Amino acid sequence: MKDIFSAPFIREMGKTASNMYRLGWDERNGGNISYRLREEEVGEYLDLGKVIREIPIGFDAPSLAGEIFVVTGTGKYFKNVEDDPETNLGVIRIKKDGKTAELLWGYKDGGRFTSEFPAHMMSHMARQSVDPESRVVMHSHPTNLLAMNYVHELDEAKFTHTLWEMCTECIVVFPEGVGVLPWMLCGTNSIGEATAAKMKDFRVVVWALHGVYGAGKTLDETFGLIETVEKAAQIYMLIGSRPRLNTIKDEDMVKLVELFGITNYRKDFLKL
């Protein structure tokens, strides 16, 4: 059996959490990550027949039965994940009943997965229904995107259009746009269900006045997705109150998606 601390998925989680903390996206214990793993990759590092303890997940997830995830812990600080992954992360498997998680490794201080676990698992189910390769759900509080929530209309089409105008790459990186939810109580099944509904159409969902959810195939891809949205929001917050002399035209955005062969962009979010 290989050393779990050398597992790519553990090392990647630590590196990603450190980067998110360094950028100011995940202050204190803010933010959480879940990463769906393949049984064969986990089996190289853990005895899959050894369950440390069971943890109720608080909702029914029958379609995730048997799925394995590495998940950040509740109350844990992202700055500590890389140095102490066994305390701050847990590798869990959803039981056949779809209601219980089996802890296979981690949470060594008796902890458990993030309080946003329902929103993560519901989002995984939603994304897998439209993209079976989707494996990552990431929640963070990017500073400029959060600031933008207070000064911009929280209308999906308008919010997305503004972000697309900020960087040439934006419509290429998130052509489906950005979903937006009103402020909701976090850590509940209700916000999980609302997020999952949006995740069927968007890989990025803004939780108004709170943060953002992103989904992707890899940790790098998902990090880069949120990073691009945050960069666009930063530019908007720098120039939004000033007279705009230049902008990326909608017809130029169409040229961009055509150049890259992108067909799933939200035409209805453009003013053509």
User: From CA 70, how far away is CA 10, in angstroms rounded?
Assistant: 8
Nearest by Cα to 11 from 86, 67, 74: 86
- Give the 3-state DSSP-derived string for 42-91, with helices as H, strands as E and coil as C: HCCCCCCCCCCEEEECCCCCHHHCCCEEEEEECCCCHHHHCCCHHHHEEE
Coil, helix or strand at residue 99: coil
From the list 116, 156, 165, 227, the catalytic residue is 116
148 near 125, Cβ under 8 Å?
no
Handedness of CA 214, 15, 145, 245 (dihedral sign): negative
223 near 16, Cβ under 8 Å?
yes
Coil, helix or strand at residue 38: coil
179 near 269, Cβ under 8 Å?
no
Q: How many residues does the chain have?
A: 272
Structure tokens, 236: 């908007």
Catalytic residue check, 27: no
Element counts in the chain: helices (H) and strands (E): 11, 9
Helix pair angle (156-166, 219-239), 10° resolution? 90
User: From CA 210, how far away is CA 194, in angstroms rounded?
Assistant: 15
105, β-bridge pairs: 91
User: From CA 267, how far away is CA 103, in angstroms rounded?
Assistant: 44
Catalytic residue ranges? 116
